[in-house]
Amino acid sequence: MPEAVIEIRQIVKNFQVGDSTVRALRGVDLTIERGSFVAIMGPSGSGKSTLLNILGCLDRPTSGKYFLGPDDVAEMDDDTLSRVRGKRLGFIFQSYNLIAQLTVIENIQVPLIYQQEDLEEHHDRCVALAKLVGLENRLDHRPNQLSGGQQQRVAIARSLVNEPLMILADEPTGNLDSETEAEVLDILNDLNSEGKTIVMVTHDDAVAQHAHRVIHMKDGVIAREVINEPAIR
């Protein structure tokens, strides 16, 4: 049986809005195995973004258990959570979140800077990641010299630099045209085929078909799950 990268049990997340309590997650159970590709879908207010934030250690649950590998991150303090986030997770965002003043290679290196790693020691790896996403000839370019698809490729390379346990992608193709969307999905498919675990939030059914599993959220719970066999490649 595949090893579980993530196991969450009865995750609850409440937000206080004035005198009212908003129940964003209402007891979610989810296991994600190593090497899987999972899409999370749902309408606005369904809890999908809240769930992704908790999976990404960007927020903590009100109650419940969240095991990332062997560790219950729901019990960690903020400093420990930040270290776990930096070392075990890679992030890809809809808006790329590149630093405008930095070059391609420097943007790929950003997670290493946060972890106080020796950049020279990791230089060849960063160049190899740029090559992996087809940007080996753009190392000295800045974001404003790149297309949207190229910027997202930088973001993908950046998400891999710390050799994360899992990649979390939040609407990674949301700002891209159809041709570029297909190119980015091809890269994600290839990474998954090589064993990377990917969890992706998307509103697009066609994009979700690239995942092995599609989790549909509604009213703070998992309403249903669809298994794609085989997933689109």
Which three-class secondary structure state does DSSP give residue 165?
Answer: coil
Token readout for 185 is 């999905």
| Dihedral sign of CA atoms 41, 43, 44, 47 in order | negative
pLDDT at 27 over 60: yes
Q: How far apart are the C-alpha atoms of 90 and 168, rounded to whole Å?
A: 6
Cβ–Cβ < 8 Å for 112, 119: yes
The average confidence (pLDDT) of the chain is 92
**Beta-carbon count within 10 A of 20 CB:** 7
> What's the rounded mean pLDDT across residues 15-30?
93
Token readout for 115 is 């972890």
Hey, which bits of the chain come out as E strands?
4-17, 20-33, 37-41, 63-68, 71-72, 89-93, 166-170, 198-201, 213-218, 221-227
> 233: pLDDT confidence band, cut at 50, 70 and 90?
low
CA distances from 78 to 20, 37, 69, 117 (A): 26, 28, 18, 21
Residue whose tokens read 């700002």: 175
Token readout for 183 is 């190119």
pLDDT at 193 over 70: yes
Q: Mind listing the pLDDT tens digit for each residue in 57-77?
A: 988 899 999 999 888 888 888
> 53: pLDDT confidence band, cut at 50, 70 and 90?
very high
CA gyration radius, the chain: 18
Cβ–Cβ < 8 Å for 150, 182: no
Q: How far apart are the C-alpha atoms of 17 and 176, rounded to whole Å?
A: 34
pLDDT at 7 over 90: yes
Token readout for 85 is 């986030």
Q: Mind listing the pLDDT tens digit for each residue in 93-135?
A: 989 999 999 999 999 999 998 888 898 899 999 999 999 999 9
pLDDT at 87 over 70: yes
Taken in order of first residue, the domains within the chain and their CATH numbers are: 36-57+82-227 (3.40.50.300)
Q: What's the one-letter identity of residue 64?
A: G
pLDDT at 86 over 90: no
pTM of the model: 0.92
Phi, psi angles (nearest 5°) of residue 132: -55, -35
Q: How far apart are the C-alpha atoms of 214 and 197, rounded to whole Å?
A: 14
Token readout for 30 is 């989810």
> 157: pLDDT confidence band, cut at 50, 70 and 90?
very high
> What's the rounded mean pLDDT across residues 41-49?
92
- Predicted local distance difference test score (pLDDT) of residue 77: 86
> 231: pLDDT confidence band, cut at 50, 70 and 90?
low
